A and B are shown apart, each in its own frame.
Chain A
């Protein structure tokens, strides 16, 4: 006999997946808007953030109800706690997608075409990471989540590389200050997206394996012993 509670849990999980798909679409569109210099697409991303915020509130309410009314334990408890954090992470990624879309919009207003430097590379990795993190949540697959963690360093390195490249770019042509700053903003936002995506993967590992991997918790614990 399946408990009513299990159905509620499934509903909660499917809401997170739906929210994840909405965030994915916004993130991908924001990056496409950068790549294609597409102001209309950027505007669409900015306008649709409200849907993501609605999801966040709905999921928050469901989490509170389940915790208060069902007193879940063990893997059920871990799933709900993981979802509470993933919900927050997804909403923040949605915000960063909006930031990126706003930068994309402003870039369409600058007089020249800026070279995107590491942005296409970063965008490609961030998209893959996000898709993998979401997939790992859908299938509760810790191995897949683990591979997301490994990609984060690559984005960090590319983000650091962007700084010197943009400085050089501005030095060469002082008229490109505005465009250069937007590129830096996009790069920083992508770096944050990758961090939050990593958090999602860490939460999947927490739920599936009851293991805390964030902040290298296991190694820290071992050091203390």
Chain B
């Protein structure tokens, strides 16, 4: 683990929804170009933690946090940070695929256009490259004007991944990206995650333990707002260090 470069360094991070202390003193080094999975029972704080990594929680009222989240030596909670710029660098993919009611092309070109890329040729290149990276190109290249909503669930989710990578992020946050998909579409997303980690740092929340085991290099187990254990995935799933982790992953919890 030592030779890996840290992409996100979290130090003593706390998060509160009003009086509820939702994340307690979380410290973790998320390694670059690796997949880090966050697991734990519902309400353990894993999604809150994920959303803290690109300040999506800022949008929720009556929340506050302390501690630091440092991406490439910059504390993203610093007052000087431009949140829009930050989210360009840190993309997010949600549980329910949420393509815009626009064509496939316009979905992918949406971010680059906001970033003032207007030239058709350049946009074409970005759309093709992003759809290739999201392993969707071959299935849609003949009709990019088709509505994104006309695609299957698995294709829609890959379209959202294409849309996220179109603005050249460095980090991808995924909140249960395959939980609404059938096994075949899930396999495609998992394979895609495996491909994407060569270029991006990925943090994924999943309720599917086997998925965490299959796709991630590192796993963090959260319970009641605390980070119980963070280690290499193969260690977590063969010889976890903490009894609580063991009980959770073997289904002996509670």
Binding site for B on A (CB under 8 A): 3, 5-6, 71-78, 210
Contacts and interface: CB of A to CB of B under 8 A. Distances in A.
Contact of A71 (B210, B238, B240, B245): B210
B238 A74 contact: yes
Given A72-B250, A74-B246, A78-B239, 17 more contacts: A3-B251, A3-B252, A5-B251, A6-B252, A73-B209, A73-B213, A73-B238, A73-B249, A73-B250, A74-B237, A74-B239, A74-B240, A74-B249, A74-B250, A75-B246, A75-B250, A78-B238
B250 A76 contact: yes
List the 10 closest A-B pairs by CB distance, nearest first.
Answer: A210-B239, A73-B237, A74-B246, A73-B249, A76-B250, A74-B250, A71-B210, A74-B240, A3-B251, A74-B249
B252 to A, nearest CB: 8
Interface residues of B, number: 13
Contact of B238 (A3, A5, A6, A77): A77
25 contacts: A3-B251, A5-B251, A6-B252, A71-B210, A72-B250, A73-B209, A73-B213, A73-B237, A73-B238, A73-B249, A73-B250, A74-B238, A74-B239, A74-B240, A74-B245, A74-B246, A74-B249, A74-B250, A75-B246, A75-B250, A76-B250, A77-B237, A77-B238, A78-B238, A210-B239
Contacts of B240: 74
A6 B247 CA distance: 12
Contacts of B238: 73-74, 77-78, 210
Contacts of A73: 209, 213, 237-238, 249-250
B72 to A, nearest CB: 32
Nearest to B237: A73
Contacts of A3: 251-252
A14 B239 CA distance: 24
Contacts of B245: 74
A144 B94 CA distance: 51
Nearest to B239: A210
Looking at B210, B245, B246, B250, the one whose CB has the most chain A CB atoms below 10 A away is B250
Nearest to A2: B252
